[in-house]
Amino acid sequence: MSLEDRLYPFLAVYDRLPQGLRRALGFTYRQLPVSWRLGKHYAEFKRLATEGEHWSPTEVEAYQVKELRRVLLQAASYCPFYQRHFAQARFRPEQVHGLADLRDCPFTAKRDLQEHLPEMVSSAVPESQRLYITTGGSTGVPVGFYLHRGISRPKEQAFWETIWRRAGYFEGARLAVIRGQVVSERARGRIALYDATRDWLLLSSYHLTAERWPEYLAELERFKPDLVHAYPSAALQLAEYLEAAGQTWRLPLRGLLCGSERLTRPQKRILERVFKCRVYGWYGHAERVVLAGEGARTEWFYFVPQYGLAEFGPPDENGLCEIIGTSFHNLVMPLIRYRTGDFARLAEPPRDGEPEFGWPAALEIAGREQEFLVSATGRRISLTAFNMHDGIFDGLYAVQFFQAAPGRAEFRYVAGPDFEPRRLAKLASGVARKLGDDFQIEFKAVREVEKTARGKHRWRVGPLLDGAGDQA
């Protein structure tokens, strides 16, 4: 198990330490060999991700079939949910010898995680190797799941670094990060926090207002990052403030890393014009099933075949196909033919151009939208940044905000059978910590939340329009 995984349960304690002590401990941690910090498997995954970019189609398929069989046989042997699931579909994993043999395998969905989580965990892996994670998801459908300690986190780091390299990332790069960190719970609180464990500057996603953007600019110019890693909505707000003030971006950047929200081509062109660098997008999710990143020369999203198996549902009326994935390497809790609820517009060579890799590729991924809440003081809070990873949504089938006026919102939730009303106090505390002290929230249990025409959940509904965000 990696040192990072061993220390992960103490992260909240570390965050509460005085700044000076955090800097000293973080700097000391950063000096340790990467094999200690991230574990022995980090180097293995880094080599797999790097060398895999040059594999032939035959090598790619052979690797995917090998990993697919390993995951299927693990699930069929040690996970009660999949044993029952496969038996009902009359699917026999031992008969899978090629990717086409997966066609009779049943799908899994977020509701399965909500209702059958204990049965989806492998009895063959000790509890000490399980890392429990929760997410509000891209649509307000909260799920909890288990990752593999010493495997899942170093794998994610290795593959991220490999695809980011196409945008100028390098080992030891200094990053300024604007991705949902709660630097202060107060509306007028501080906006920046230095992470000495990685030499990163963490900037609040919750205080981006015209009044305070000069503070962000000053912090960035003081830190001098090599790259900025931001939610697209946060980067667009900074670009908006710069142009409205008639100022130009003065820091040379290797690249702007934008993930976790949908970013349109016109929005990318705005960011490239303002920040004067490559804007690089990628697609992934907390469940770590599939990963896709733009190429070095093209803006297609290439699904990395060594990371997981990507499949796609039939196209809808708009030509979008649901992304369906099977996870590799996480034997604690395999996710097999998992319906992500995200959609992609697939590239079709040579009509759309020549690909850089012989992998499945998408021209566009329609996943998490740029949705905001507006506070009483005018702060625009990205609901991507609001996402929770601490179990606070456990037992809820869906959550959604209804907002009709700045600073006031109704938090609607669909409770599952295991949700206990006494947990509302903890839920209210967690929501208040994320939103800050210039919000009033009312909680309302509902039978179902509003959905899009496609049947997809949304984080926010209501008549309040965030004009600036929508315009961006």
**pLDDT reading at 417 higher than 80:** no
- Structural domains in the chain, sorted by start: 372-471 (3.30.300.30)
Q: Which amino acid is at 144?
A: G
Q: Is residue 380 pLDDT above 90, yes or no?
A: no
CA distance from start to end of the chain = 44
Q: Is the pLDDT at 337 greater than 80, yes or no?
A: yes
Q: What is the pLDDT of residues 289-330, one digit of tens each?
A: 999 999 999 999 999 999 999 999 999 887 889 999 999 999
Q: What is the pTM of this model?
A: 0.81
Q: pLDDT tens across 445-463, in order?
A: 988 878 665 455 677 888 7
In SS3 terms, the chain reads as: CCHHHHHHHHHHHHHCCCHHHHHHHHHHHHHCCHHHHCCHHHHHHHHHHHHHCCCCHHHHHHHHHHHHHHHHHHHHHHCHHHHHHHHHHCCCHHHCCCHHHHHHCCCECHHHHHHHHHHHCCCCCCHHHEEEEEECCCCCCCEEEEEECCCHHHHHHHHHHHHHHHHCCCCCCCEEEECCCCCCCCCCCCCEEEECCCCEEEECCCCCCCCCHHHHHHHHHHHCCCEEEECHHHHHHHHHHHHHCCCCCCCCCCEEEEECCCCCHHHHHHHHHHHCCEEEEEECCCCCCCCEEECCCCCCEEECCCCEEEEECCCCCCCCEEEEEEECCCCCCCCCCEEEEEEEEECCCCCCCCCCCCCCEEEEEECCCCCEEECCCCCEEECCCCCCCCCCCCCEEEEEEEEEECCEEEEEEEECCCCCHHHHHHHHHHHHHHHCCCCEEEEEECCCCCECCCCCECCEECCCCCHHHHHC
Largest CA distance in the chain: 65
For 403-416, what is each residue's pLDDT tens digit? 988 889 998 988 87
Higher pLDDT, 208 or 242: 242
Across the range 176-182, mean pLDDT stands at 84
- State the average pLDDT over residues 206-234: 90
Rounded Cα distance between 411 and 206, Å, is 18
Exposed / middle / buried, residue 377 (Cβ in 10 Å: 0-12, 13-18, 19+): middle
pLDDT exceeds cutoff 70 at 388: no
pLDDT in tens, 19-78: 889 889 999 999 998 888 888 999 999 999 999 999 999 999 999 999 999 999 999 999
